[in-house]
Amino acid sequence: MKQQVFLEKINPVKDKMYRLAVRLLVSKEAAEDATQEVILKLWQRKKKIKDYTNIESFAMTATKNYCFDELKSKKNNNLRIVHQNYENKTVSVHRDLELKDELSWIEKIVNDLPEQQRLVFQLRDVEQMDFEEIGEITKMKNTAMRVALSRARKKIRESLTKKHDYGIKGN
């Protein structure tokens, strides 16, 4: 496969890979590195890719594995990946500051979820993939995926509700 062809195939997936990496590693810098690294790895194993008809799920699986490895090695070293991205990515579409605030709250809640739940939530709610694809990437069973997803959604909703109640009581 020529470099040009490879890039054309990988570019549409790149952002998806990055978003998954951010979700798992939290740090943007680490996520950028991870994305670059995985793309390189895929390029080096391009002969294998030819056989894979769906490069997207292959790339996503590779990203997931890379991030989990990264997390594992950091955990073993008693290190946490440091991240400085507390500032909110402003989205002009959302007019009110309140919502912006809310979004960064949710991000915090999501990042506190267990890794598997974060993974499934990212793929389903953010990337809107079907369960078949998610299963291919995560290698999880259908029921396990749904349970993880349900827990993640419930947890986020409960945390948010709690926060709002607290705000009301505080006033």
| Interaction of residue 154 with other proteins, rule CB under 8 A | yes
| Interaction of residue 5 with other proteins, rule CB under 8 A | no
Taking contact as CB under 8 A, which single stretch among the options 52-60, 63-71, 74-82, 144-152 is the one that binds other proteins?
Answer: 144-152
* Closest C-alpha to 70, from 131, 120, 40, 27: 27
Taking contact as CB under 8 A, which single stretch among the options 53-61, 63-71, 72-80, 103-111 is the one that binds other proteins?
Answer: 103-111
| Interaction of residue 108 with other proteins, rule CB under 8 A | no
The single residue among 24, 26, 49, 110 that binds other proteins, judged by CB under 8 A, is 110
Distance in angstroms (rounded) separating the CA atoms of residues 170 and 24: 33
CA distances in angstroms from 52 to 1, 56, 59, 63, 100, listed in the order given: 13, 9, 10, 16, 40
The single residue among 65, 83, 102, 111 that binds other proteins, judged by CB under 8 A, is 102
| Interaction of residue 99 with other proteins, rule CB under 8 A | yes
The residues binding other proteins (CB under 8 A) are 3, 6-7, 10-11, 14-15, 17-19, 22-23, 31-32, 35-36, 39-40, 43-44, 89, 91, 94, 99, 102-103, 105-107, 110, 122, 125-128, 130, 145-150, 153-154, 156-157, 160-161, 164
